[in-house]
Amino acid sequence: MLNCQDFLANGIVLPISAFLSRLLGPKLFFIICIVMFTICSFLCGARDGPDPRRR
């Protein structure tokens, strides 16, 4: 189910993505997005989990 936040996020991200794609070129923009996704995924995976002693 889509929430209002989904529409708001798409309304903000899509124009910015289009602008950056025109500015940098679609190929470079795609490569930058893949690299950023990979780095962020690695950082999420490398993060320590929550402390089991804390509740």
How far from 31 is each of 4, 6, 7, 15, 35, CA to CA, in Å? 30, 25, 26, 18, 6
- Asked if 45 contacts 37 with a C-beta cutoff of 8 angstroms, the reply is no
Collect the ranges in the chain with pLDDT lower than 70: 1-2, 51-52, 54-55
Q: How far apart are CA 19 and CA 46, in angstroms?
A: 32
pLDDT at 38: 97
List pLDDT tens digits, range 36-45: 999 999 998 8
Element (H, E) at 35: helix 26-46
